[in-house]
Structure 1
Amino acid sequence: MLVVGLGRFGSAVAESLVAMDFDVLAVDFDMARVQQYSGVLPHVVQCDTTDPRALQQIGAAEVTTAVVCIGSDVESSVLTTSCLVDLGIDNIWAKAITAPHGRILERVGAHHVVFPEAAMGERVAHLLSGRMLEYVQIDDDFVIVETGVPAAAVGKSLGEAQLRATYGVTVVAIKHAGAAFTYATAESKLGATDLIVVAGHRPDVERFAGSV
């Protein structure tokens, strides 16, 4: 995998991929950053990724997946993505900082555009509501959250509580006090201090969390 840009986001992506045993080639234009991560990442090189010939020289055309983590320099982000598209890389992910930036990346050929700052901001906002302990957006309108048990369901089994019929959400896991999370079944009893993992469409999940 090729990771372009070793700022906070890019370095985190590269280090996580290496920890998962992926073969990662990390690239940055700034030699100071290359030196900073040379002892952390196995393969780090300095390269002007807006130059197609430079990308060819470092073997970028041989990778199947590339992640463009350049955010603040929109021109470099777009030119780098365009060069990687021209190299025929099958799977290109690109970081965007604004909606217009994201649209341009899509138009030049990025297969996936991510907005890490916006996604984190939305997640934190939901957590700040105090009703959710974890919030993960799976799709535009589908989320998974960790939350508590509504008072009306305490002491009942999931089958008896009828949470799906009432709220349109599915409880996929449950954690009793002092125990680990386990798969939820219709027989799972709901306690006042239990934590549950709920999946569903965003409005339904938010309505459910509001009842906790």
Structure 2
Amino acid sequence: MASNDKDRQGVLVFGLGRFGSALADTLDSMDIEVLAVERDPDVVERWSKRLPCVEADGADPRALDQIGAADFAAAVVGVGTSLEASVLITGNLVDIGIPEIWAKATSVEHKRILERIGAHHVVLPESDAGARVAHSVGGTMLDYIDIEDGFTIVKMRTPKETHHFTLDKLGLQEKYGVHVVGIKGPGRAFEYATPDTLLGPDDILVVAGEGELLERFAKRP
């Protein structure tokens, strides 16, 4: 077992279904050390040509020991078809002290169980995707990410009342309780916002704050 968190590196991904395989493949393309763990030998064979993977059962603590799971900095439990397997794998990862454990849940009840046994982050992919689309359809929000405990980050168009004003003149934090983190003007890359940042009608904003306050701000004409 790694002596401390600084010695750990890489990400373990359990389950090579649609969620796990997409995540593992993306991490690998980002040059992040990743090892996929899958029970089905046919799936392992299919993916072994694309990314590092091993046939093992994460629900068995002995299998985790054999693959050196304790030396990884993070783990993602992408198993969704079996609640029992998902819970057992997550529990085993908690027991060996993985610093960052992400787990996929298929229901609110499943999410609650994973959180109770020690998963640091639990995602409901279909529910989260549906919420993001719902906040974007027919509104000024272009993307919506609920981080945790009501804190949210959105990408949105600039309300008309903000056009041609700098952030220090607008006082959005005091007036609406939201904070502009970044801005993208036409033909320019995103840049961090400063008090002197001037907002234009074609700009895209990245704004953070409580979800309800962001909703109100985004509905401004």
Distance 1:160 1:16 in 2: 41
Q: How do 1:46-195 residues align onto structure 2 when only pairs under 5 Å count? A: 46-195=55-204
Structure-2 separation of matches of 1:16 and 1:183: 26
> Taking structure 2 as the reference length, what is the TM-score of the superposition?
0.84
Measured in 2, the distance between the counterparts of 1:134 and 1:68 equals 25
Amino acid at match of 1:37: W
- What SS does structure 2 have at the residue aligned with 1:129? coil
Deviation at 1:192, TM superposition (A): 1.8
Shift of 1:206: 0.7
Taking only aligned residues, the RMSD between alpha carbons, in angstroms, comes to 2.1
CA contact (8 A) 2:77 2:103 kept: yes
Alignment size in residue pairs: 211
Q: More displaced, 88-97 or 71-80?
A: 88-97
Q: Summarize deviations over 1:86-133 as a string: whole Å, max 9, x none.
A: 444443322111121122223333333222222222111111132111
Residue segments in structure 2 that go unaligned for 5+ positions in a row: 1-10
Residues 208 and 57 (structure 1), Cα distance of their counterparts in 2 relative to 1, 3 Å cut? same
Between the aligned partners of 2:98 and 2:184, the Cα distance in structure 1 is 43
Unaligned runs of 5+ in 1: none
Deviation at 1:19, TM superposition (A): 2.7
Give the alignment's TM-score, normalised by structure 1.
Answer: 0.87
User: Matched residue of 2:127: which SS?
Assistant: helix
Secondary structure, counterpart of 1:67 in structure 2: strand
